[in-house]
Amino acid sequence: MTPPILRVGFVPGVEPDVFERRWRTGRRPARLELVPVALSHQAGALSSGEVDMCFVRLPLPVPVAEQVHAVPLWEERAAIVVGDENVLGVLDEITEDDLIGETEIPPAHPDDAAERVAVVATGVGYARMPMSLARLHHRKDAVHRPQVDGETTRIALAWPRAADDELRQEFVGVVRGRTIRSSR
């Protein structure tokens, strides 16, 4: 008999490898399948059943947020990305005051982090994004620095309330660090 599959989505910037390794170390009742999910599609992937659970970047839209369990996991620092020749690149950390007079390349849509990094790499302005996305889209011609007074974002593990079961609870335990020998 083939074991069931637990499909866990993850948005860009989240690296679920450690959770996959933990899942595989014990005798788990299902095979884990990791599914990349675009930030703009995180709520849809959960609602449609494309994934059973998803590492999401909060906040979720209100109608979806009311229909899912969400376990907040970690906060992501804010980052500023600039071209490698921009004077801001010499700073170790950036504050909002450092950005006065600079041109921000604002997001055009939720999935455009790589595009904005490409624009600032040409020497035009700066882009603001979570540190994990700045690292994901790192290029030789751009640098990223933490924005010490920037707004943090939060990553959570979410799954539909209607589909809560022992399998999903076991994965929550793995994400929270429980081992096969631990009890809840």
What CATH number is given for 78-146 in this structure? 3.40.190.10
CATH number of 5-75+153-175: 3.40.190.10
Q: What's the pLDDT score for residue 106?
A: 97
- Give the pLDDT confidence score for residue 68 in this predicted structure: 96
- What does pLDDT average to in each consecutive run of 10 residues of the chain (184 residues)? 91 96 87 97 95 97 93 97 96 97 97 98 97 97 98 97 94 83 54
Can you give the pLDDT at residue 27? 80
Q: Which residues have CB under 8 Å from 181's CB, separation 6+?
A: none
pLDDT tens profile 2-36? 889 999 999 999 999 999 999 988 788 899 999 99
Q: Are 3 and 24 in contact (CB under 8 A)?
A: no
pTM: 0.91
**C-alpha distances in Å from residue 164, one per residue of 45, 61, 158, 167:** 16, 20, 10, 8
Other CB atoms within a 10 A radius of the CB of residue 183 amount to 5
pLDDT score, position 177:
84
- The reply to whether domains 5-75+153-175 and 78-146 share a CATH topology is yes
The residue extents of the domains of the chain are 5-75+153-175, 78-146
